[in-house]
Amino acid sequence: MSLQLASRTTETLFQPRHVAVSRFPAAARKMAARGEIEVQLEMRHAGTRAVTLRYERVGDPSLPVLFVAGGISANRHVGASDQFSDAGWWQEQSGPGRALDPAQHCILAFDWVGGDGTLDAVIDPVDQATAVVALLDALGIARLSAFIGNSYGAMVGLHLAALHPRRVGRLVAISGFHRAHPYASAWRALQRRAVALGALQCDDSQGVALARQLAMLSYRTADEFDSRFGAAKVVNGRVQVAAEDYLDHCGQQFADRVAAQAFVRLSESIDLQAVDPETVQVPVTVVAVAEDLLVPLADAYDLVQRLRGETRLHVIHSRFGHDAFLKESRAIDGILREALLDIAADADAEALA
């Protein structure tokens, strides 16, 4: 994997580590910043492509850096800050006093390669790990204290840990493991077919909306639907089930913000996940949700058994299934705090060494 940085690097507030942090006033250093870099990315299946990496960081860059990654529909905006005050996709875990506290850590995240819908190519999860390294190089970050990944983000994190062990101190892999389960892959393949069927109308949004609705069923559980929705009704000569309004909302909201090609290429990417756990030697905290329909507990056990570094396993129960990382805020908070204590201990051990 060769990486070539293009000249345009637009961030103004971020401080690469090798520059004295005192050059900026403390207030500025603590501010959040966004930037983008252009790289020539050597991709596993698609040759070398020019891609733009768009990142956001929150917190003083001299603090331990945590790279935070979510599912395929997540992005660089993890949590709100003074500069970027919209709620982030992991708002519950982010901010003063939360597990991802910018007073304690520098939180770094980016938009997935392919996330803007302009890349019409097969994207392997390893390509995202390559892009993470490219970003770290551009920002002068020698080593992440931890990579915290959820779902697809956890898959990418495993590649990063396997291939670039010196760049990451610890991996937290939540609801994403070393392989794509064949059943989950079939479910995603049908979502992509819904997009293809919609595209035949020259109206992507209907297909993307249906794909998202199908995905929602895989992200949640029967118990959650049972607790929220009642019996079907007959409306204007048709049967309307109780969840339809909710699913309509989910589908439309997603179709309004995600391009069909971004969805399809990142959905495909999940299905290419293949990491040999024996190649991972950095410490890993694995978090599995017993009710997850996409990422079964058995795969977490298989992963934990085969990882070669220090390994911790947390199994949580949630009627939100695969979406537990977004919904079980308290359980996830506890797990993140424990993992971050380990990171602090790692740092102390390094300082003593």
The binding site for a second copy (CB under 8 A) comprises 45, 121-122, 179-190, 193-194, 197-198, 200-201, 206-207, 210, 213-214, 217, 221-222, 224-226, 228-232, 234, 237-244, 247, 268-269, 271-272, 274, 293, 296
Active site residue 322: yes
SS3 24: coil
Coil, strand, or helix at residue 135?
A: helix
Bridge partners of 9, per DSSP, are 37
With respect to a second copy, which residue has the nearer C-beta, 54 or 181?
Answer: 181
Nearer to a second copy, 228 or 257 (CB): 228
DSSP letter at 301 equals H
Kindly name the residue from 292, 299, 323, 342 that is annotated as catalytic. 292
Closest C-alpha among 309, 277, 69 to residue 170: 309
- Specify the 3-state DSSP secondary structure of 7: strand
Of 269, 322, 323, 342, catalytic: 322
Instruction: Write out the H or E segment, with its range, that includes residue 195.
Output: helix 182-199
Q: How far is the CB of 182 from a second copy (least distance, A)?
A: 4
Dist. CA 172–CA 174, nearest whole Å: 6
Looking from the CA of 190 toward its CB, the CA atoms found within 13 Å total: 11
Which of residues 36 and 224 has its CB atom nearest to a second copy in the complex? 224
CB atoms within 10 A of CB 341: 10
Residue 271 falls in the annotated catalytic set: no
Q: Minimum Å distance from CB 211 to a second copy?
A: 10
Task: Write the DSSP string, 149-188.
Answer: EETHHHHHHHHHHHH-GGGBS-EEEES--SB--HHHHHHH
The two structure tokens encoding residue 323 = 């979406």
> Minimal distance in Å, beta carbon 78 to a second copy?
28
Shortest gap between Cβ of 270 and a second copy (angstroms)?
Answer: 9
Closer residue to a second copy in complex, CB, 97/237: 237
User: Is 151 known to be catalytic?
Assistant: yes
Number of Cβ within a 10 Å radius of residue 352: 6
287 vs 309: CA distance, rounded Å: 16
Catalytic residue among 151, 175, 269, 318: 151
State which residue, 38 or 291, has the beta carbon closest to a second copy: 291
The C-alpha torsion from 25 through 26 and 30 to 35, rounded to 10°, is 20
**CB closer to a second copy, 21 vs 121:** 121
DSSP single-letter state for residue 64: P
Nearer to a second copy, 145 or 269 (CB): 269
Could you report how far apart the first and last alpha carbons of the chain are, in Å? 32
- Which residue do the tokens 């949700």 mark? 289
Distance in Å, CB of 73 to a second copy, minimum? 18
- DSSP assignment, residue 274? B
Task: Name the minimum Å distance from CB 210 to a second copy.
Answer: 6
Supply the minimum distance, in Å, between the C-beta of residue 125 and a second copy.
12
Distance CA 212, CA 1 (A): 33
What positions carry a catalytic annotation?
A: 151, 292, 322
